[in-house]
Amino acid sequence: MNAPLSPTLARQTRPNRWLVPTLVLVVAALTTASIAIGYAAFDVPAAFGDWLAGRATLPALVLWELRIPRALLGALVGCSLGLTGAVMQGYLRNPLADPGILGISSAAALGAVAVFYGGLAGSLSLALPLGGIAGAAGAALAINLLAARGTGTLGLILAGVGLSSLAGALTALVLNLAPNPYAALEIVFWLMGSLADRSMDHVWLCLPLMALGWVMMLSTGRALDALSLGEDTAASLGFDLVSVRLRIVTGAALAVGSGVAVSGAIGFVGLVVPHLVRPLVGARPSASLLPSGLAGAALVLGADILVRLLPTRPELKLGVVTALVGAPFLIGLLFHHRGRG
Amino acid sequence: MRLAVEQAVFCVGTRTILDAVTLGVGAGEFVGLVGPNGAGKTTLLRLLAGLIAPSAGRVTLDGRPLGSVSRDERARRVAAFFQGAGIGWPMRVREIVALGRLPHHRAFAAEDAVDRAAIARAMDLTDTTHLADRTEPTLASGERMRVLLARALAVESEMLLADEPITALDPAHQLDAMALLRRVSRDGAGVIAVLHDLTLAARYCDRLVVLSEGRIVADAQPTAALDDSLLHAVFGVSAQRGTHADGGAYILPWARSQRTLGETRP
């Protein structure tokens, strides 16, 4: 099978060329659908017309204050989770790595929960996400300091596991100390993750942080490819592994931290999406980054549409649905891998 | 092109892994780095590759300290082959070999004709062209090794450092790989390879550098380096020597030197 090289190349690049535009279209369609689908009958074009004309009609308000933020946040959070999942799996060379592996999600949740407990959430609408972002920033700082010696990824994973357990324990402590059962229940519900009742303020808060995080993580694509042959080979190919780690940890903290801060914890998306994308783009880590981000956005938007279409009231928490769908998928994946093993 | 270490010391905690090591390798030379396990061969190779910095002394590329050479330039001029980490993802063989071209275009540039030619050459030299579409987990260990060697060759560097490049190969591919490394050096690159097979090292290398307990104890033509007293003192073996009908001299480690021949012969 001495196949000439050119057909091989064509076969590898052809799906790539169409995949990203297709995913962009899917995300755009789902964003539109997310705006159109809600609990009240809603004339989207009319509302859009009112909003553009600057008329403060009820449909225009619903569109701008409720529907658009929810749809945009779904896309932003999903993209952050998918991209970070793909970066983490590539960087740690571990198909079971997820955006939470460095403890950033747990620390962001802890930050938000601490704000809840402190009672600040009532006084300032953005106090909760700001607390989450502060938690994520603290986590990124701690991880970078703990991993500062050496370039090994094992140390990074251990630091992440440690940080994750610590944040989890402190979150449990806050719940334990909650002044009344309703406060505890509110915290638990928030932790389950949801995009309901968010405003454009949330979008403006997380959009710049996420965009910066995405750029930092996307800039490591080639280093991730080189790292698939190990750290020594990657270093010999001219990659500065300390800078790579710094960009990945900081980028993940910005993207996932601000995501958790606005939406709570939405699990399994970051873990599952790269596995969905890989059969389409091949195993090269850099090839799966952008498609994973887009597929993550599509998945979260789809799940968020699903919770609104399901007859359950109050609506199921988004994080619960993604976990319910994601966990069986992961188990299936495990069997699939073992079958090929 | 000359890659050198001068009076290099490398310590981990209180342990001295390399002690005052001085070595220079130029273009067109095929140097074998031999020594018992734990002698510091791989550490010396990583030092030469610029992956670690010496605790004292210095590593130079054409007389310039390696630390002052930019990462990109170093990566283009000095390629390194390590296989300990394996291949992390089920990538296609051709994609793996193409990783060797990364130092030549950093930003989002695509593969160009020069890259494709280098990749095809490297795969041809290592007899991996027919594997181009295979993915990692389906490769036999010898195939994987040749693919990784092709990756290092695809850099088309002036210096090639190889950590145990023939360890998992069958005899035919061991001979191929040694002949290939010698050919790479004849084509003008310097080659430094960590080797355990003294017979093949002595037969193919221009020079053998013998490391023992972090020091260089011999640096000479193979037959001169591997004399009987060194084999006894460093490796604890005695060797059979001979000349093949084609005129090539060989050295064959035969027995632990502490014992008599009869006791270890099967």
Q: pLDDT class for A196, splitting at 50, 70, 90?
A: confident
Q: What is the pLDDT of residue A151?
A: 57
Mean pLDDT score, A260-280: 91
Which chain A residues touch B94 with a CB distance below 8 Å? Answer: 5, 8
| Integer Cα distance of A330 and A269 in angstroms | 11
- Provide, as residue numbers in chain A, all residues whose Cβ is less than 8 Å from the Cβ of B120: 5
Average pLDDT over residues B215-224: 94
Give the residues across from B159 on adjacent strands. Answer: B78, B190
Mutation for testing the B interface, residue in A237, A242, A243, A333 having most B CBs under 10 Å: A237
Q: Which residues contact A328 (CB under 8 A, 6 or more apart)?
A: none
Across the interface, whether the CB atoms of A284 and B120 are under 8 A apart is answered: no
- In the chain, the amino acid numbered B77 is R
Residue A15: pLDDT band with limits 50, 70, 90: low
- Contacts of B98-102 with CB under 8 Å at 24 or more apart are B98/B154, B99/A225, B99/A226, B99/A228, B99/A229, B99/A233, B99/A237, B99/B151, B99/B154, B100/A237, B100/B150, B100/B151, B100/B152, B100/B153, B100/B154, B100/B155, B101/B154, B101/B155, B102/A222, B102/A225, B102/A226, B102/A237, B102/A238, B102/B75
Q: Is the pLDDT of residue B258 over 80?
A: no
Q: Interface of chain A against chain B, CB under 8 Å?
A: 1-3, 5, 8, 12, 90, 93, 222, 225-233, 235-240, 282-285, 340
Task: Using an 8 Å CB-CB cutoff, list chain B residues near A288.
Answer: none
Q: Which domain holds residue B169?
A: 2-264
ipTM of the complex: 0.90
Contact yes or no for A238 and B82 at CB 8 A: no
A93: which chain B residues are within 8 Å (Cβ-Cβ)? 88-89
How deeply is B260 buried, as exposed, middle or buried, from its count of CB atoms within 10 A (0-12, 13-18, 19+)?
Answer: exposed
Contact: A229, B88; criterion CB under 8 Å: yes
- Per-residue pLDDT tens over the stretch A306-341: 999 988 878 889 999 998 888 888 888 778 766 554
Who contacts A13 (Cβ-Cβ below 8 Å, separation ≥6)?
Answer: none
Substitution target in A231, A232, A277 with the highest count of B β-carbons within 10 Å is A232
Q: What is the tally of structural domains in chain B?
A: 1
Distance from CA of A272 to the nearest CA of B (A): 16
Show residues of chain A in contact with B91, CB under 8 Å.
Answer: 228, 282-284
* B115-138 per-position pLDDT tens digit: 999 999 999 999 999 999 999 889
Mean pLDDT, rounded, of chain A:
87
With bands split at pLDDT 50, 70 and 90, how would you rate the model's confidence at A5? very low
- B13 contact A CB<8A: no
- The CATH number for B65's domain is 3.40.50.300
pLDDT by residue (tens digit) across A243-260? 999 999 999 999 999 999
Q: Is residue A16 very low, low, confident or very high in pLDDT (cuts 50, 70, 90)?
A: low
Domains defined along chain A, listed by start: 18-340 (1.10.3470.10)
